Amino acid sequence: MYQEGHSGFNALLYAPFLPLVSHVWSLELALIGALVAVGVANLPDIDQPLPRLRHRGPTHTVWFAVLVGLVAGIATAIIVPSTPDAFAFGFVVGTCGILAHLAGDVVTPMGISPFAPVWRAHVTLGWFKSKNGRINRALLLVGSVALFTSLLLTVWLPAAVTPTG
């Protein structure tokens, strides 16, 4: 998958959680979650311009996902110190954001080895090529609409059903 596809896929996956996070914790944390989820969507592809790293190598593993989760958890705890579960929330969203990227790459013929170097099994479903423009654009569109709709429902629906005094 290309950048647009990964961003849209992560937005689509986070969209159902935005209202839940807003209800349980706060809209602020829900929005930070959306930024983290979409923000890390393309992080594993930092290996492309680096000469010493093989593309879809170390940055396309569960170990990298956990590392990014730790950083996202710490950053979330610093940004929202008033939320007791901020670290755990940031960790989960950061880790899942990278795992979503890995899932997006598994559906391509190139695939990944998500547990390397511990287990070098190569995983691919081969459903479509990474450069498939239609799928990348469709994921960006659907994910963007889903996340925006989720945000609108989260913000405006409670206000619409609250009785005025």
SS (H, E, C) the chain: CCHHHHHHHHHHHHCCHHHHHHHHCCHHHHHHHHHHHHHCCCHHHHHCCCCCCCCCCHHHCHHHHHHHHHHHHHHHHHHCCCCCCHHHHHHHHHHHHHHHHHHHHHCCCCCECCCCCCCCCCECCCCCCCCCHHHHHHHHHHHHHHHHHHHHHHHHHHHHHCCCC
**Tally of domains in the chain:** 1
Q: Is the pLDDT of residue 117 over 60?
A: yes
Q: What is the mean pLDDT of the chain?
A: 93
Domain boundaries, position 98: 3-161
Residue of higher predicted confidence among 51 and 78: 78
Residue 53 has pLDDT above 70, yes or no: yes
Which band of pLDDT confidence, cut at 50, 70 and 90, is reported for residue 101? very high
Percent of the chain with pLDDT over 70: 95
Q: How confident is the model at residue 73 (pLDDT cuts 50, 70, 90)?
A: very high
pTM of the full predicted structure?
0.90
Category of 56 on φ-ψ map: left (φ > 0), alpha (ψ -120 to 50) or beta:
left
Q: Rounded mean pLDDT of 108-117?
A: 93
